[in-house]
A and B are shown apart, each in its own frame.
Chain A
């Protein structure tokens, strides 16, 4: 924690500077390698005055120490203990010397440490360099491998760097004792070893720095100016050390630094966050957005209270005067810029991007420049006349900014507390209860799951089949439509809700009828004393994201959306965190800068972040299939559904109170299919099934069927269905292990199938002979139906009895609810229609609920099935 804070304070501003300088270099040159040259040049030029000062101070310290040595020796001889200390203290005081002046001599090194830690961290982690060639270097992200010697690769850059280092050191230590020389060359060798295997981009930067240092040393040795300057200052008879003249600027400079820290680090960031605190909070990462303000405050403090102060303290009197005046002008100008300009850029998102590109008016730019000039003149005028007034204004400003900041921070705190209460419910993860002692009825609807694949999946995955023992599989199951909108009402509520029956109730809208169907079973079970949980009722409210509000009349029914509830969006959250942590301070700087610079600093919302320059905004690689056996990327939609299935055990709470339970859950992992890596059938960034598929070209079933998957569509459906069943199997294992198996009735159903040119595995005929061909093949109307009853034994049985999806409700209630009556229509729920009626009517209609939401389905087409058997094409009558 403390280390994090220190890192942010000291290294944070440097890393930001490196990033911005590099990014701007990249924007100018468009070349990652040249940008390194630019970065090195600018950083070294920036450091040059610091080094020059440090050299002078070092020499000064050396001279002073030499002057004071006889006195110190005398005191050491004459006194002991506390008295010696006090006398030495007085002697130091008389000579304007502080014991830590010893550090003056090491200043240049001390200053370099943070700069180079920052450079090291920045360049070795910069993905822009990965795989980028520069001149003879093939990849700036890897060691250069420029020389090939006797079959081994030798890196040239580190060697070059060391050579430069040695030459530079030879010049620097020309008049120094042998010990210094040995130390120096030793150091050069150590760095050769340490950096030898580093990315060549980094070594290149290092090499450039050494080159710079070499040039600096040559010039310094020629002029010898450090010694001269120091000797002039530490002339005998005159005490060396900080002269008092610079002190009068100190207070002004420091108070301006505090002012800028509060303005840029706290006030502007807190104002942004306070404008809409909720946007800065993620449900999955529920932390106070004040951390962003803290982060920018630390960056600002590091910039103004540490680095600016270091530069200030290392300056000469003249330099300090300039610094103080500049700080005063800067403070005034930033306030003016922030308060009066750039306020009309539009709506800002939480990622600190405006909805629309920045449009800067030339007139604004000119007006702003004029006002800045005027303000600067006023400041200089006051500075000349009465500098104390500036000091007073600045301190008063600090107080004012602090008050405003505190008000913002309190606002954010209050909003966050409110948010915490409001979202408590939403942040609750889905869960349901199964009883160990009572009876549990579970209905799982797998959208579009292909019934015909089941025998092949079980054959290929014996472990899955093992967990499905006790289930009865009904292959001969009819769906009354090939889409969710026509199929789900009958699936959820029985024969009364078959599509043509629904259309008879032409006085009621389809959305109402859908909602009613979804409520039938939950309400019936609830009324019979069951603890009911509904997850993802499909098309509830006729919306893609189900509206759980349809159950608002039944508060005791638990309802959840599992779709996406378990998705790992930590990557997105991490990105958001990183972007805001970095850019909130950058935003402040951008807003407080002159209008002329604003567009450049805003940089289309990227704020000169090098990494952001080459990555498109819509992040991450989207799923693309490259062939039937290869794909890259992961489908978000599949993952949202798949993770819900993965979390079934986690969602399961057990109960021993004896209360019966009912759970109905739908899942779309089988609908939003994707390509999965075989043989584990798991999602992967890069899927390559070429070898596996070559070895498993023909899949077989226990009954002797053959399945050849040829297209990506077939592959993806088969793989996704398998993945869903694998997850169910794992949950079944969990149920068995937790004593929830025997007393649980489970129905695994799908609402419909899908046409993908595989009808022959169901009919045994040729694909082209299919009578249903114009209206999709039989696979589209064949739904999955597998039922495991209470204490169903250990066998997996196949039952060819004719079933329809509308049988699900009565099967779910069988033996538990006697003579169930639909609570909304008052009609009994039975399977009579199937048994009595010779013909079953299937409807084709528009699947889009956004269009097809009147009282009746649009343009219905009727398909007729006779003889209660799906897989004989002669049983189908088509118009």
Chain B
């Protein structure tokens, strides 16, 4: 059997083959993904038909500082909240609320399976990647709200991370501009953006204020890097600790929790080389408040802790020079520099391979610079809106949105 081929379509035979194969692979892969969530998700699918007014979802107990005060606030207001966590040992599971119910919904795909079938009016989460990764929008959820868990903006999420939320609780005007730019580029409808502030920073600030000024102590330098091949431990490692020891300050080494899992060998090696002593201390606290509270200077690469420390405790920082690959992040789609990179030079000194030898001098300089103190104030203005007031604002927003939804007749149509 053969057939007539119209001029010009001959070369398409090949295209067809590729297309068919591609489509086939796509379909197979897509169904494989769905199956994975379905099966690995197990039985934890939503069975109840009652719609919960508010659901808070967190993929980790790390965001305790956001959700604890929020739950307290909602409890106080008598609003019914279902707190769903993917951490089995989330401390909120042990809280005794009347209106807030905390539930562990399994880890990974199991949690997403539950979330994908969720029935709720409003869902609040700090987890990015909604409707991009395994966590899909449930068709029975009215409104998805994202809350920031760090001060460093919205473009440092992995690509498309917040695209499918309905509303974003932000902490700076520059963030709104970034969101709008991405929306325009991707032909997405405008999300509701509210400058509600940063619960996490508020919590730290509140705690700090409650503690009052730090007691008299010897000058303490905290080295709290992130993890991965370009992190400080991996790049500067032993040399840096050696230099720090020689400064004579009190040194605290606090590896990223993930390092203990992914880079155990490295950490073990460093620990045996630099055992604890009067002047050197390893810290593995769950909550970093105490260690931040008693430190005078922080050396770190780009984890949220840099801004926590600089903005909440108003103390100097030294940030490491690690080359940053923007491509996987939303920032990679925008031409202007990330806010974080604009703000950092204002609040601290950058540690590079060239100036690494002068680390002790850098520490001295940082501890006494007035310019950095001024820079910190500017950064707070830019990225910490509604300071100290985020929790009531968020609670107000959530209840307001819900009553608006109920008036409009419930579920908002997914774009």
Using a CB–CB distance below 8 Å, which chain A residues touch chain B? 51, 74-75, 77-79, 82-83, 85-87, 89-91, 94, 98-100, 102-103, 105-106, 108-110, 112-113, 116-117, 119-120, 165, 168-169, 171-173, 176, 179-180, 183-184, 186-188, 191, 194, 206, 209-210, 213, 217, 237-239
Please, which residue of chain A has its CB at the minimum distance from the CB of B329? A78
Residues in chain B near residue A119, CB distance under 8 A: 4
Partner of A78, one of B15, B26, B131, B332: B332
Binding-face segment, B16-24, B352-360, B363-371, B377-385: B16-24
* Minimal beta-carbon separation of A708 from chain B (angstroms): 58
Contact in complex: A86, B12 (CB < 8 Å): no
Question: Is B51 part of the binding interface, using a Cβ–Cβ cutoff of 8 Å?
Answer: no
Contact partner of B8 (CB less than 8 A), chosen from A75, A87, A173, is: A173
Contacts of B324 on A, CB cut-off 8 Å? Answer: none
The interface size bin for chain B is 35 or more
Of residues A79, A120, A183, A194, which shows the largest number of chain B Cβ atoms within 10 Å of its Cβ?
A: A183
With both beta carbons as reference points, the residue of chain A lying nearest to B1 in the complex is identified as: A117
Q: Could you tell me if A90 and B327 are in contact, using CB atoms closer than 8 angstroms?
A: no
Bound Cα distance A83, B23 (Å): 18
Distance between Cα atoms of A624 and B159 in the complex (Å): 86
Partner of B11, one of A82, A112, A165, A183: A183
B33: chain A residues at CB < 8 Å are 82, 85-86
- Tell me the minimal C-beta distance from B261 to chain A in angstroms: 19
Residues of B within 8 A of A109 (CB): 5-6, 9, 12-13, 16
Query: What sequence of 0s and 1s flags, for each residue 368-407 of chain B, a beta carbon within 8 Å of any chain A beta carbon?
Result: 0000000000000000000000000000000000000000
Main SS of chain A's interface residues? Answer: helix
In the complex formed, the residue of A with least CB distance to B29 is A85
Nearest CB on B from A441, distance (A): 61
Are A179's CB and B327's CB within 8 A?
A: no
**Are B6 and A78 in contact (CB-based, < 8 A)?**
no
A119 to B158: give the CA distance in the assembly, Å: 54
Q: For B19, what are the chain A residues with a Cβ–Cβ distance below 8 Å?
A: 99-100, 102-103, 105-106
* Contact residue among B4, B188, B325 (Cβ-Cβ distance under 8 Å from A112): B4
Other 18 A-B pairs with CB < 8 A, given A85-B29, A112-B3, A186-B10? A79-B328, A86-B134, A87-B160, A91-B160, A94-B187, A102-B15, A105-B15, A106-B19, A108-B9, A110-B16, A169-B7, A171-B7, A173-B7, A176-B8, A180-B10, A183-B10, A191-B5, A237-B187
Q: List 21 A-B contacts (CB under 8 A).
A: A78-B332, A79-B159, A86-B33, A87-B159, A90-B131, A90-B132, A102-B15, A106-B9, A109-B9, A109-B12, A109-B16, A112-B5, A113-B3, A116-B3, A117-B3, A120-B2, A169-B7, A186-B10, A188-B7, A191-B5, A194-B2
Residues of B within 8 A of A99 (CB): 19, 22-23, 26
The residue among B2, B7, B13, B133 with the most chain A CB atoms within 10 A of its own CB is: B7
Q: Does B186 contact A (CB under 8 A)?
A: yes
Residues of B within 8 A of A (CB): 1-13, 15-16, 18-20, 22-23, 26, 29-30, 33, 131-134, 158-160, 163, 186-188, 325, 327-328, 332
Contact B23 A102 (CB under 8 A): yes
A90 touches B160 (CB 8 A): yes
Query: B163 — which chain A residues lie within 8 A by C-beta?
Result: 90, 94
In contact, A180 and B11 (Cβ under 8 angstroms):
yes
What residues of chain B lie closer than 8 Å to A94, measured between beta carbons? 160, 163, 186-188
Within the complex, the shortest CB–CB distance from A696 to chain B, in Å, comes to 50
**Interchain nearest-CB distance for A116 vs B (Å):** 4
Q: Most chain-B Cβ atoms within 10 A of its Cβ — which of A87, A117, A186?
A: A87
- Find A168's partner among B7, B132, B134 (CB 8 Å cutoff): B7
A79 to B132, CA, bound (A): 13
Give chain B nearest CB distance to A554 CB in angstroms. 61
- Once the chains are docked, how many angstroms separate the CA of A694 from the CA of B26? 78
- Partner pick for B9 among A78, A112, A186, A191, CB 8 A cutoff: A112
B1 touches A120 (CB 8 A): yes
Q: Shortest beta-carbon distance, A604 to chain B, in Å?
A: 34
Of B7, B132, B325, the contact of A165 (CB 8 Å cutoff): B7
